[in-house]
Amino acid sequence: MAEFTPGLELARSYYREVVRPLIEARWPGLAHSAGLLGRGSEVLGFDTVRSTDHDWGPRTQLFIAPNGSVEADEVAATVFAALPAAYRGLPTRFESRRPPLLVRTPGLFFEELLGFDPRLGIATRDWLSVSWQRLGEATAGAVFHDGLGELEPIRSALRWYPEDLWRYVLACQWQRIGQEEAFVGRCAEVGDALGSSVVAARLVRDMMQLCLLMARRYPPYAKWLGTAFARLSEGDAIGVALSEALAASDYPSRERQLCRAYGLAAEWHNRLGLTASVDPTVRRFHDRPFLVLDAGRFAGALFDSISDPEVRALPRVGAVDQYVDSTDVLSHAVRTRDVAASLGRS
């Protein structure tokens, strides 16, 4: 069996060895950019041999200027017709939701991916109405050639939230944790072991996303969340505690491990220096016998640290991922913008 070549590496060599020579032969000196962005496990660097069974193969994206000497449709048709049948033993024409050759202007590509053209500026409503998965897809992958000089500036601008928006999104994530952390114990107290486990699992997911956000990483969707979390340099001890919380068969063990994870995350928050230090120790939930971090304290400190009046005035619900849990919405740029607009953000 041939050694597996990650899709991003395959795409890079495919562009350089096949696609670019075809462009230069047909349109010498044509200004263009090329890369692999957007959807696909290979864009995020998570593909394996298993990924090759569908929607996978040598592919690239070409970007040309609007209103130039040649139209995108002409480039796509001409280059596609001239492609060899195979590259490194892999077919260059394969059935896929992600075309082997996609030709777009930069503005159109990012409008399709994100729902807006970031070259025109990125408003607060833009940041908060794009799913984390799509932001990751826009900033991961690679640019192989940027003859238009637009892809790298766009990706740089999208790399991470402006600082006050980062504080806001972090605050909303801590707020989510604070809203449910006591329910693990309350479910167990009334004999609902399954409910206690379900709430714990929700909190584990929220904690993983929180850690990625603290590390300035866009949390990917469910399939790759654990993979992305495992690559965090500061996530090892937290990951152990979260894993043991999920594996726990009784409430005391579940609570102990969750509290361990909360404390480690709280210490990480303090190291970021975004707020004055917040006590990272757990405490009882009011007079009830449930131990919690009282994560709302961290949310409050972050909300109070925001200086931008526009961000301070936002409803405290966060980015679209923090209040929508539907693949059919989060994977659709127009729908996420429509949902965000319903909160009065546009």
- The Cα–Cα gap between 305 and 166 comes to 11
What's the mean pLDDT in 88-107?
A: 85
Confidence (pLDDT) at 93:
82
Any idea how long the chain is? 346
Q: What is the pLDDT of residue 259?
A: 98
In this structure, what DSSP letter does residue 15 have?
A: I
Residue 150 is predicted with a pLDDT of 96
Q: Using an 8 Å Cβ cutoff, are 261 and 207 in contact?
A: yes
What DSSP state is assigned to residue 321?
Answer: G
Mean pLDDT of all residues in 230-259:
96
Measured CA to CA, the distance from residue 330 to residue 321 in angstroms comes to: 7
- Over residues 183-189, mean pLDDT: 97
Q: What is the pLDDT of residue 345?
A: 55
CB 23 within 8 A of CB 56: no
Across the chain, what does the average pLDDT equal? 94
Task: Determine the distance from the C-alpha atom of residue 140 to the mean position of all C-alpha atoms in its chain, rounded to a whole number.
Answer: 9
Model pLDDT, residue 2: 62
State how far the alpha carbon of 4 is from the alpha carbons of 23, 47, 303, 320, in Å: 28, 10, 47, 36
What is the distance between the alpha carbons of residues 118 and 149, in angstroms, rounded to a whole number?
14
User: pLDDT confidence of 291, banded at 50, 70, 90?
Assistant: very high
**pLDDT in the model for residue 1:** 42
At 36, is the pLDDT very low, low, confident or very high (cuts 50, 70, 90)? very high
> Are 55 and 96 a contacting pair, CB within 8 Å?
yes
Mean pLDDT (whole number) for 75-94: 91
State the pLDDT at residue 282. 95
Please count the other Cβ atoms lying within 10 Å of the Cβ belonging to residue 48.
Answer: 11
pTM of the model: 0.94
Confidence grade of residue 14 (pLDDT, cut at 50, 70, 90)? very high
Average pLDDT rounded to a whole number, residues 32-60? 91
HSE-CB for 260 with a 13 A CA cutoff? 18
What is the three-class DSSP state of 281? coil
Predicted pLDDT of residue 216: 98
Question: Mean per-residue pLDDT for 28-50?
Answer: 94
Quick one: pLDDT at residue 343?
85
Segment 284-288 long-range contacts (CB within 8 Å, at least 24 positions apart): 285/181, 285/182, 285/185, 288/182, 288/185, 288/186
